[in-house]
A and B are shown apart, each in its own frame.
Chain A
């Protein structure tokens, strides 16, 4: 069911683009607190995102510093899709990346990755 509606929405999205009008989207979709909480847990846990291994994140302990601190994400990534792409496959932007390819290599499932993106975007 979920997959079905995902496909439908993507068809709808494509259609909207084909129509090409002045599409206005409210980016301020309210993200519920549960998703953010789950995203945070996934980002912190060693077995899942383990983002803390390399990034300082507010509220996280024993963080590493191989990557830059994750902060001011909304300003630096106004487009959530760009943030998602960075986490999905960081080698696109940097062939010598020292960050795992969380989406491409299936470290996080697509739905978990969505949650992580939602959480990271609030930083």
Chain B
């Protein structure tokens, strides 16, 4: 009799532990995350075909779309593609070329980002390009502006028509961990203005901030690098991340650092199934 409360307590503790364990195992899978994510945009833009989201804000902004289509007739990124092709073909000082690192290149954009088991990290295309350069005795390129965008433009152009297909391999739990970190980053409020990425691109896509319409997060990764009229040039995805962090007055992270690579892993996974259509042109 004396023992009864004690036993009850023990029982409830056991039950509580079991419940927590269950809650932990109920962590949604990436597949489930993606389903819920896509549904958000389907619900909000029922008339927009899924494939259209690869066109970013122009999938949902008919007025912006008109001038965008006009711009696409004489694409501002064309010169960068040409310069990129030269880079791809030109031998390094040691006589080798990018092709020696990327045998199946140049149309390889759809293979990134991917989980690199050996290095235990998310591998992105810009990082892989620089690792190639360094292995051939060349200096790495800068990650936001400059000539890295040329070669990225060429590779993007050559990869058009390929489909986004980010894999989170199950044989290495660190891959799922990287995905979860990227996801956490995406939904975490930051900066003096207290915004998560999701607040603009998932909560409020289609709404206007001043006169800019916010693009849906779905499809945001298909078309980088992007020529932006506001930049007056072309820039990488991580340059864009930097800008979106800064505008909410958060300190941006290092381009190609772990935070942004994990973010890219998550965000690109969300666009799985969408066709690559880079390079892009934006306002």
Q: Determine the distance from Cα of A70 to Cα of B203 in the docked complex, in whole angstroms.
A: 20
- Which residues between 198 and 252 of chain B lie within 8 Å of chain A, taking CB atoms? 199-200, 203-204, 207-212, 214
CB–CB A100/B204 < 8 A: no
Q: Contacts of B200 on A, CB cut-off 8 Å?
A: 98
Q: Does B194 contact A (CB under 8 A)?
A: yes
Contact residues of A: prevailing secondary structure: loop
Q: Determine the distance from Cα of A63 to Cα of B212 in the docked complex, in whole angstroms.
A: 10
A96-B203, A98-B199, A98-B203 given; A107·B193 CB < 8 A: yes
Number of interface residues of A (CB under 8 A): 16
B39 to A: closest C-beta gap in Å: 18
Q: Contacts of A98 on B, CB cut-off 8 Å?
A: 195, 199-200, 203-204
Q: Does B192 contact A (CB under 8 A)?
A: yes
Q: Determine the distance from Cα of A26 to Cα of B207 in the docked complex, in whole angstroms.
A: 40
Q: Contacts of A53 on B, CB cut-off 8 Å?
A: 209-210
Q: Contacts of B192 on A, CB cut-off 8 Å?
A: 100, 105-107
Q: Determine the distance from Cα of A63 to Cα of B208 in the docked complex, in whole angstroms.
A: 8
Number of interface residues of B (CB under 8 A): 15
Q: Contacts of A96 on B, CB cut-off 8 Å?
A: 203
Closest to A104 in B: B194
Q: Determine the distance from Cα of A91 to Cα of B204 in the docked complex, in whole angstroms.
A: 17
A66 touches which of B193, B194, B207, B211 (Cβ 8 Å): B207
CB–CB B210/A52 < 8 A: yes
A45 to B: closest C-beta gap in Å: 12
B245 to A: closest C-beta gap in Å: 15
Closest to B199 in A: A98
A111 to B: closest C-beta gap in Å: 18
Q: Determine the distance from Cα of A54 to Cα of B214 in the docked complex, in whole angstroms.
A: 12
Q: Determine the distance from Cα of A65 to Cα of B211 in the docked complex, in whole angstroms.
A: 9
CB–CB B194/A64 < 8 A: no
Q: Does A62 contact B (CB under 8 A)?
A: yes
CB–CB A54/B209 < 8 A: yes
Q: Determine the distance from Cα of A55 to Cα of B204 in the docked complex, in whole angstroms.
A: 14
Q: Contacts of A63 on B, CB cut-off 8 Å?
A: 208, 210
CB–CB B193/A62 < 8 A: no
Q: Which 8 A-B pairs have the closest CB atoms?
A: A64-B208, A100-B193, A64-B209, A62-B211, A66-B207, A53-B210, A98-B199, A64-B210
Give A contacts to B, CB under 8 Å: 52-54, 62-66, 91, 96, 98, 100-101, 105-107
18 additional contacts, CB 8 Å, given A64-B212, A98-B204?
A52-B210, A53-B209, A62-B210, A64-B207, A64-B209, A65-B208, A66-B207, A66-B209, A66-B214, A98-B199, A98-B200, A98-B203, A100-B193, A100-B195, A105-B192, A105-B193, A105-B194, A107-B192
